[in-house]
Amino acid sequence: MSLLGENIALTLFISFIHFPFFISFQRKGRVEDQSKAAEEQRQLALAESKMSKSDQKERDAAAEKVQAQMRGRTARKEVAMLKGEQPGDKKKKKKKKKQTEPAAEEKVIVLDFEVQLDQPLGMKIDHVEGHNIYPAEITQVVPGGQGDKAGVVVGMYVTHMNGDATNGQVLDDIVMGVVGAKTNQTPLVMRLQLGGE
């Protein structure tokens, strides 16, 4: 037998000796991981059972807010991809405009949009990128739809819902307001604003 053949045979022999040990070591690790996960789950359940109802509501509200922000971030990325933009393109374009154009007086348009509850809105509402006051912006208007007929245009912000200001709310609050009005058939007037802040 050649030297190469002896090395291969020796390697195979050693592998067969250590292979069962390796398998049992892997199984032991999995069992320990499962035990740790079960213990963590038990501790979480115990901690939850000790929480008051108000603490649970606060925790759930905070979780909903985080989830809404994550959904908004995902939706913004999808809109940017549909528009063919790369992340950061929008900010770069705005900076160039500010540098090259002199400051022009901005015209403010305010529209009270009375929603027909038995029809689709005819517009898409999305989170406002980098906007700290209003949580929702009209990003698309369906031609001939309810929004278009009422005079809604892309770029308008939702500033009020039935007279209540939307500043400090998140996109999901606006969407749930529309869904709730349509579900319960309660009147809904959305105040939209283009320009000015």
Average pLDDT over residues 123-144: 82
User: What was the pLDDT predicted at 5?
Assistant: 53
Angle at 68 between CA 143 and CA 94, to 5 degrees: 60
Average pLDDT over residues 79-85: 71
User: What was the pLDDT predicted at 70?
Assistant: 76
Query: Cα separation of 76 and 127, whole Å?
Result: 7
Class of residue 30 by CB neighbours under 10 A (exposed 0-12, middle 13-18, buried 19+): exposed
Q: Please give the model's pTM, rounded to 2 decimal places.
A: 0.46
CB-based contact 188:118 (threshold 8 Å): no
User: What was the pLDDT predicted at 59?
Assistant: 80
Long-range contacts, stretch 66-70, CB < 8 angstroms, 24+ apart: 68/170, 68/171, 68/172, 68/173, 69/170
Given a cut of 60, is residue 97 above it in pLDDT?
A: no
Class of residue 90 by CB neighbours under 10 A (exposed 0-12, middle 13-18, buried 19+): middle
For the chain, what is the mean pLDDT?
75
CB-based contact 153:122 (threshold 8 Å): no
Residue with tokens 């979480």: 44
Max Cα distance, the chain (Å): 93
Q: How confident is the model at residue 11 (pLDDT cuts 50, 70, 90)?
A: low
pLDDT tens digits, residue range 12-37?
454 555 455 555 556 666 767 778 88
Given a cut of 60, is residue 187 above it in pLDDT?
A: yes
Q: How confident is the model at residue 143 (pLDDT cuts 50, 70, 90)?
A: very high
